[in-house]
Amino acid sequence: MPTIETSQGTQVYVFGQTAILVDFAHVDSHKIPLFFIAVIGLSFLLLLLAFRFWFAANRGSRVQQRIEPHLGAAANNPKARRRASRDKTRTRLSDAIERALADLKHFKMVQSMIERADLPVRSGELLAGCVGAAVVLGLIAAAVGAAGILVLALMAVGFGAPLGYVSFKAKSRVRAFENQLSDLLITLAASLKAGHSFRQGIQSVVDEGAEPAASEFKRVMTETQLGKPIDDALAHMAGRVGSKNFSFVINAVTIQRQIGGSLAGLFDMVAETVRQRQQFARKIKSLTAMGRMSAYVLVGLPFFIAAFVTLLNPIYMSPLYHTGLGQKLMVGSVISIGFGSLMLKRIATFRG
């Protein structure tokens, strides 16, 4: 081949799967070292940061070292000291992340989502866990020789998985509160009709209600005992829970308490309104079930077919994963699928 090219000035092209794989390997051989250097550099920085907080937590202060012999057996327990050291390191890392991201809107949304989900985790700890999961998945994918775009996709999945779990827990808790709301309003109305005060009615909900409503109203009672006005405590609860129906109830109760009138009759009327709104929302959800299922199938079908064909014939799908054109096609496909899923969601979603 080289003799023909030099003597006659012709260009010879070789086709076939073997030639394509050789070209792919030649292109990837220049890109993979840069990717590994970037991943290893990021991991090294995170490791240095972790060691810095670990050494800072283990060093302690001079005062603490001087009083430790007088604290008893708890301070001399190695397991207790290691646990305290881990807690202190986690607290320092969370404080640093929260100070750095305190003014960001999305960080405040993450904080409210954690509070709505009622999970014993701080926002800084959650973001640190997201970054750690992304780095671990990226290193595993890079170690097995996956394509660069696949490594980035796995890192995105690792970063979003903890946030998705917290969002799922928050939505589940709001849904459970919505289902209890009409019964809670009827309980409050019955307590007021029996001659109890509004505060005593809320206490009856705390004593007789189920989770999550009982814990939320218990927090309201705790805030009022600390000197906070009950209207402000209920408004804070409405913003914390994130229920539109409960916000509607709180607005109606606040207006009624200011202008005067029967709160028992108001609770009966609002309970009936909330029940009708929930029945209407369930009816709309059942009517749009076919459209939502069609959207799920259309969004998930391309990924399922790609994974299935890759398992059956990896060489056939290799150009899609290892060439620049194939990677651009995948990015464009993901963007198109995301845009289409948003349109389908807009069509099949009713906001009442």
Residue that finishes a domain, picked among 284, 300, 320: 284
Query: Is 9 contained in some domain?
Result: no
Query: Is 17 contained in some domain?
Result: no
Say yes or no: 178 and 259 in one domain.
yes
Say yes or no: 280 and 176 in one domain.
yes
Looking at residue 10, its pLDDT comes to: 57
Say yes or no: 210 and 262 in one domain.
yes
- pLDDT, one tens digit per residue, over 184-206 is 888 888 888 888 888 888 888 88
Say yes or no: 273 and 324 in one domain.
no
Give me the mean pLDDT over the 223-250 stretch. 86
Say yes or no: 225 and 301 in one domain.
no
Query: Is 50 contained in some domain?
Result: no
CATH number at residue 255: 1.20.81.30
- Give the residue with greater pLDDT, 48 vs 135: 135
- Lookup: tokens for 101: 């991201």
- Within 10 angstroms of residue 109's Cβ, the number of other Cβ atoms is 11
Lowest mean pLDDT, pick from 63-77, 218-232, 281-295: 63-77
CB-based contacts of 132, cutoff 8 Å, min separation 6: 46
Say yes or no: 200 and 278 in one domain.
yes
Looking at residue 8, its pLDDT comes to: 55
Say yes or no: 272 and 193 in one domain.
yes
- Within 10 angstroms of residue 295's Cβ, the number of other Cβ atoms is 20
pTM greater than 0.75 (yes/no): no
Domain enclosing residue 344, as ranges: 289-348
Task: List the one residue out of 100, 103, 99, 98 whose CA is nearest residue 114.
Answer: 98
Give me the mean pLDDT over the 238-257 stretch. 84
Say yes or no: 177 and 265 in one domain.
yes
- pLDDT, one tens digit per residue, over 121-160 is 888 888 888 888 888 888 888 887 776 777 788 888 888 8
CA angle, 142 as apex, 139 and 148 as ends, to 5°?
Answer: 120
Looking at residue 73, its pLDDT comes to: 47
Judge whether 36 and 142 are in contact, CB under 8 Å.
Answer: yes
- pLDDT, one tens digit per residue, over 124-134 is 888 888 888 88
Query: Is 157 contained in some domain?
Result: no
- Give the residue with greater pLDDT, 15 vs 321: 321
Say yes or no: 277 and 242 in one domain.
yes
* 113: pLDDT strictly greater than 60: yes
**CA-based Rg of the chain, rounded to a whole angstrom?**
30
Give me the mean pLDDT over the 89-97 stretch. 78
Judge whether 287 and 261 are in contact, CB under 8 Å.
Answer: no
Give me the mean pLDDT over the 294-304 stretch. 86
Q: How many domains would you assign to the chain?
A: 2
Query: Is 2 contained in some domain?
Result: no
Query: Is 109 contained in some domain?
Result: no
CA angle, 144 as apex, 138 and 149 as ends, to 5°?
Answer: 50
Say yes or no: 203 and 294 in one domain.
no
Residue that finishes a domain, picked among 284, 307, 337: 284
**What SS3 state is found at 209?**
coil
**Position of tokens 């651009």?**
328
Say yes or no: 295 and 269 in one domain.
no
Say yes or no: 226 and 296 in one domain.
no
Judge whether 242 and 170 are in contact, CB under 8 Å.
Answer: yes
Judge whether 130 and 162 are in contact, CB under 8 Å.
Answer: yes
- Give the residue with greater pLDDT, 73 vs 164: 164
Query: Is 274 contained in some domain?
Result: yes
* 114: pLDDT strictly greater than 60: yes
What does pLDDT average to over the chain?
A: 77
Query: Is 180 contained in some domain?
Result: yes
- pLDDT, one tens digit per residue, over 204-221 is 888 887 888 888 888 888
Residues in the chain: 352
Looking at residue 37, its pLDDT comes to: 65
* 229: pLDDT strictly greater than 50: yes
Residue that finishes a domain, picked among 267, 284, 301: 284
* 55: pLDDT strictly greater than 60: no
DSSP 5-52: HHHH-------SHHHHHHHHHHHHHHHHHHHHHHHHHHHHHHHHHHHH
